[in-house]
Amino acid sequence: MSMEAEAMSLSGYKIEGNARITLSSSAHNGTGSASFASKVKAGTYTVGVNVLAEDDGQSKVSLYVDGAYVGQQTFPKVVGYRTLNFNNVSLKYGQTVKLVGQKDGYATFARINKVDIN
Ligand SMILES: [Ca+2]
């Protein structure tokens, strides 16, 4: 399944350019979250988070399933869209998939475009 970030349930994130989400916090190392319901049948998946990276710092994104921490990835220090993969994630239908983005100091905004679960 594929889920656009701008269609997720947002807290501390806002929609940017009708295409992606960006942290709204002006705080140092500020965070926000984006959640959606899994539509996949029970199994083990790769959760690919497509992000818009920046070259003046490295945001982080953490993945949770039904509140349980799965892992964390760091954005590359480049300008452009990249996909950060979380491998071997156990998921079933109806579970809540939550992404928590964190700024790198004041520099970056943990922008997310979409998530693909395959
Ligand atoms: Ca998008």
Q: What is the mean pLDDT of residues 47-66?
A: 98
pLDDT band at 116 (very low <50, low <70, confident <90, very high): very high
Superfamily of domain 2-117: Galactose-binding domain-like (2.60.120.260)
Q: Could you tell me the distance, in angstroms and rounded to a whole number, from the CA of residue 34 to the centre of ligand 1? A: 12
Interval 33-42: pLDDT, tens? 999 999 999 9
Look over the chain and give the mean of its residue pLDDT values, rounded to a whole number: 98
For 41-75, give one letter per residue: b (16+ CB within 10 A) or e: eeeebebbbbbbbbeeebbbbbbbbeeeebeebeb
Q: What is the mean pLDDT of residues 68-87?
A: 98
Distance 21 CA to ligand 1 centre (A): 8
